[in-house]
Structure 1
Amino acid sequence: MSSGWRGTMGTKKCLLDMYAGVICQTRTRLVSGINSCSGRVQVLYKGTWGTVCHDGWDLSEAAVVCREIGCGDVIEVKSSAYFGEGSGQIWMDNVNCTGNESALSKCAHLGLESNDCNHSEDVGVICQPVIRTVEGFDACSGRVEVLHNGKWGTVCDNNWDGSDGKVVCKEMGCGNIKALTYGAYFGVTSGQIWMSNVSCNGEEAALSTCAFEGWGTHNCLYARHAGVICRYLQNNR
């Protein structure tokens, strides 16, 4: 049931009705988690990051967030400011997704800034990470593996350098890089080699956003697995 109101923000137009709203030109992120695939949900609108209230928050909404930010399946749905209280704007309340939407902004909700919440009700989510280290000394060292199309694969050590390792450590929530490893230092595994000739500047939030040859495109042998040793700084929440 449309109210007929139509507003303009930038170059896009949004239609809001009295029951649900849409957000144009938004982004979603997770903050204060143990890695890039966990944390408090925040939505960017009008240049300001704001939180989401936990009224109606369940697995369907969390699944959309995990998909939107490029992480794997939902592991846990969090509410009641599990990852700490945010501050400032609460953008969304009573979000209602089917679970198939490509972005949280495409789900129904009360409308921007329409809520009866406080930050003690901020939502969070824990998604399956899309990067990991295996066969290492701890959770922050080992052979680098990335998840793509539901399958874990390795990274070739062609051009593997400190900027690439820095991104891996940051994405996993493991602090700063201590050392890089080459030539399958942490053991040889068979199966998919997903990435080769990775070239990061060190500021990317995820290894998958760095330049590389393309998923599964490589001329590497299995004895060329890239690895990393990070400073173990994860909290144990």
Structure 2
Amino acid sequence: MHGRCLLPALAFLLSAVLVSAQDSKQLRLVDGGHRCAGRVEILHQGSWGTICDDLWDLRDAHVVCRQLGCGEALNATVAAHFGKGSGPIWLDELQCTGKESQVWKCPSLGWGKHYCGHTKDAGVICSGFVRLAGGAGPCSGQVEVHSGGDWTPVSDGSFTSATAQVICAELGCSKALSVQRNVPFRESSGRVWPEEFRCEGQEPGLWFCPRAPCPGGTCRHRGAVHLVCSAYTEVRLLNDDAGGSQCEGQVQLKISGHWSALCASPWSVANAHVVCRQLGCGVALATPEGAPSRGGAEQVWTARFHCSGAESSLGSCPVTALGAPACGLGDTASVSCSGERGHLQQGRVLRAGAGNWFRFT
């Protein structure tokens, strides 16, 4: 008897769990180039859908940016600025105050009720919660977070390597390469973010990391923290000969989607060996100086690599991004690789040819 009564109860409970799982809501931004810009999409009842731009303004956008941990809203876009979406149009005529914790808690016409098509999909452009400022590019610089309308540096007192990894990944800058502390602040105000970040390393962004208020509202620090990420995981050698070897030419790095020439001051043989190895081009035979910039490079990257020569890629080498002098387009790094079997022996470059090893000094 008890068994027959228990079965309907279990079935009801399982049904409730399934309904709850299907009704779990999620929010994302699509087709904006990074996670803090794009068309607003909501996952509801198992389907991704959009928001209509009727009455869409910065107060609505502020709620979206805050909910995603993307700082403040810079723009509330309309008329499918980031392209037309598909699926249901979940919400229309939102009237957020800007203080709501989730965009679907704002007053609206109700779920699935609307008077528009996907040509009126709403979008946002957010400031982002964290940035690297004042460095040699978008993937290096002083760590700053955004809240309340301005950017504030993060204290170097308890900044961890796990926090660095989260920031680099969030910014699309691969992995953390170096963390420099006790760096002079970019501005003289001396203000620092009043919280300590305690990331574990797997969080999708700095906003989602555990944090704790600093004692007395002031974090102990010696200065700002400067972070360098290993965004330069793509390397190529470019020369003027369209049909020439891919194993010799100007060293170019792909940084945040753009190709940059690498400054030759300084450029060591050890660095050159790593580039050749990374490209599968054997070992370095020569490092021509003063090579002019080739086509395809949009700027000159001034960071200085300090490879030992044994690393598998430039992204594994220590790098200095601060204090590097300006570098002109006529002073870029180049390398000529063996392009075949080769190895290092006792610090000398050897190359295979005609059955013998020839030594280059």
- Residue 67 and residue 158 in structure 1: after superposition, are their counterparts in 2 closer, same or farther (change >3 A)? closer
Which residues of 2 match residues 81-230 of structure 1 at below 5 A? Answer: 81-148=80-147, 152-156=152-156, 158=158, 160-161=160-161, 163-172=162-171, 174-177=172-175, 179-184=177-182, 187-188=184-185, 190-196=190-196, 198-202=198-202, 204-212=203-211, 214-216=212-214, 220-223=220-223, 225-230=225-230
TM (norm. structure 1) is 0.71
CA distance in 2, matches of 1:78, 1:198: 34
Matched residue, 1:233: 256
Aligned alpha-carbon RMSD (Å):
3.4
Q: How far off its partner does 1:145 sit?
A: 1.5
**SS of corresponding position for 1:182:** strand
Q: How far off its partner does 1:159 sit?
A: 6.3
Contact 1:156 1:197 in 2 (8 A): no
**SS of corresponding position for 2:112:** coil
Deviations 1:148-198 (A, max 9, x none): 56661314364632x4333213333x341362222246x446321545463
Matched AA of 1:79:
V
Tell me the number of residue pairs that the alignment of Structure 1 and Structure 2 aligns. 213
Contact 1:192 1:216 in 2 (8 A): no
Q: How far off its partner does 1:223 sit?
A: 4.1
CA distance in 2, matches of 1:98, 1:155: 33
Contact 1:144 1:228 in 2 (8 A): no
Contact 1:146 1:155 in 2 (8 A): no
Q: How far off its partner does 1:129 sit?
A: 2.1
- Residue 69 and residue 141 in structure 1: after superposition, are their counterparts in 2 closer, same or farther (change >3 A)? same
CA distance in 2, matches of 1:219, 1:68: 26
- Residue 104 and residue 193 in structure 1: after superposition, are their counterparts in 2 closer, same or farther (change >3 A)? closer
Matched AA of 1:130:
F
- Residue 85 and residue 184 in structure 1: after superposition, are their counterparts in 2 closer, same or farther (change >3 A)? farther
Larger Rg: 2
Q: How far off its partner does 1:98 sit?
A: 3.5
**Higher relative contact order (Cα pairs below 8 Å, separated by 6+ residues):** 1
**SS of corresponding position for 2:94:** coil
- Residue 234 and residue 39 in structure 1: after superposition, are their counterparts in 2 closer, same or farther (change >3 A)? farther
Deviations 1:2-40 (A, max 9, x none): xxxxxxx86999xxxxxxxxxx86343323334443222
- Residue 170 and residue 49 in structure 1: after superposition, are their counterparts in 2 closer, same or farther (change >3 A)? farther
Matched residue, 1:21: none
Moved more, 220-229 or 70-79: 220-229
Unaligned runs of 5+ in 2: 1-15, 232-254, 259-361
Higher helix share: 2
Q: How far off its partner does 1:131 sit?
A: 0.8
TM (norm. structure 2) is 0.50
